[in-house]
């Protein structure tokens, strides 16, 4: 019987799921799945693996020809990154379908409010590997412990509602694997695919990688402090000046902020600024990886 991976959560703030009040379930689920996928990609890269940018030119595609020759899905997947293997790419549909239910299994759930219990049910459409389930659940762990879920977690003037904070209401259930075992699996996938290795070498340095993140679950940043942090990076990466989205997200209600830089040097600059502002207890991505 196909497995269902369930995660029981509760909103701390509304979750932005793409519409004001009445969002179709499909839009909402697609948005939440996109967010879980994003964190999974971040995690894969942080563990030294390769995850493509599914919206970019260098994204993965299932090799139909290789598949037709042998009839083995694995042959079509050889050069497909681990994120696309799980969540799908051109020619290969996702192994999971997300359905959100309320605490009792009902389908009427309004995530645009705080304090709403809900369950993310990931229905297996194709068999998943323990390593993939580990990555999925750890991505959810990153979201609840340090991050946020859904779109619209931008910079807002103080007083505006925060979006996307959730807490678990029951322990996250993980496959019995260590971080090292999953890292080894990711390395093995790379070793088996020279095209993936080449794509990793030319991966864009702006792609988010957990190693270069920063997290704080003790305090939030007001707009003035956010601007200070952004000023520590003259390249404009953090502020999104170069036409990309901003990289610092602060939550007054949750006493939390997180963000990401593109490399160690930029991360050091941010950490220095935070220290100068008297903000303690900021954790680096490397430190969070060691908690996984």
Report the interface residues with Zn ion, using CB under 5 A.
52, 60, 81, 84
Nearer to Zn ion, 85 or 256 (CB): 85
Q: How far is the CB of 81 from Zn ion (least distance, A)?
A: 3
Q: How far apart are CA 90 and CA 158, in angstroms?
A: 41
Q: How far is the CB of 104 from Zn ion (least distance, A)?
A: 36
Of the candidates 46, 36, 49, the one whose C-alpha atom is nearest the C-alpha of residue 285 is 46
Q: How far is the CB of 205 from Zn ion (least distance, A)?
A: 17
CA distances from 118 to 1, 7, 257 (A): 24, 8, 23
Q: How far apart are CA 11 and CA 9, in angstroms?
A: 7
Q: How far is the CB of 201 from Zn ion (least distance, A)?
A: 15
Nearer to Zn ion, 82 or 150 (CB): 82
CA atoms within 13 Å, Cβ hemisphere of 215: 20
CA distances from 88 to 111, 118, 240, 274 (A): 26, 25, 28, 38
Nearer to Zn ion, 91 or 168 (CB): 91
Nearer to Zn ion, 52 or 142 (CB): 52
Nearer to Zn ion, 92 or 257 (CB): 92
Q: How far is the CB of 171 from Zn ion (least distance, A)?
A: 30
Residue pair 169/73 in contact by the 8 Å Cβ criterion: no
Nearest 5°: the CA angle 175, 177, 183 is 125
DSSP string, 160-183: SPP---EEESSPPP--S--HHHHH
Q: How far is the CB of 80 from Zn ion (least distance, A)?
A: 6
Nearer to Zn ion, 89 or 111 (CB): 89
Residue pair 78/88 in contact by the 8 Å Cβ criterion: no
């Amino acid at each position: 019987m196909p497995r269902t991976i369930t995660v029981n959560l509760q909103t701390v703030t509304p979750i932005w799921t793409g519409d004001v009040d009445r969002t179709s379930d499909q839009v909402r689920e697609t948005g939440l799945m996109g967010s879980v996928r994003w964190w999974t990609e971040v995690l894969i890269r942080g563990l030294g693996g390769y995850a493509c940018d599914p919206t970019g030119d260098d994204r993965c595609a299932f090799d139909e020809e290789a598949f037709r020759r042998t009839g083995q899905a694995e042959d079509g997947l050889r050069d497909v990154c681990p994120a696309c293997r799980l969540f799908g790419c051109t020619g290969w549909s996702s192994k999971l379908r997300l359905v959100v239910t309320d605490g009792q299994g009902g389908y009427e759930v309004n995530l645009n409010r705080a304090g709403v219990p809900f369950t993310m049910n990931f229905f297996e459409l194709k068999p998943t590997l323990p390593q993939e389930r580990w990555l999925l659940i750890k991505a959810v762990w990153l979201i609840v412990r340090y991050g946020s879920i859904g779109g619209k977690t931008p910079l807002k003037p103080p007083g505006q509602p925060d979006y996307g904070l959730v807490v678990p209401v029951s322990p996250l259930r993980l496959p019995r694997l260590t971080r090292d075992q999953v890292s080894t699996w990711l390395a093995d996938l790379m070793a088996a695919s020279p095209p993936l290795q080449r794509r990793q070498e030319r991966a864009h340095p702006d792609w988010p990688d957990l190693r270069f993140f920063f997290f704080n679950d003790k305090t939030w940043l007001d707009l003035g402090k956010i601007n200070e942090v952004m000023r520590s990076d003259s390249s404009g990466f953090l502020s999104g000046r170069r036409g990309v989205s901003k990289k610092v997200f602060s939550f007054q209600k949750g006493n939390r902020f997180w963000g990401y830089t593109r490399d160690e040097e930029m991360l050091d600059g941010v950490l220095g600024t935070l220290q100068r502002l008297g903000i303690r207890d900021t954790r680096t991505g490397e430190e969070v990886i060691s908690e996984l």
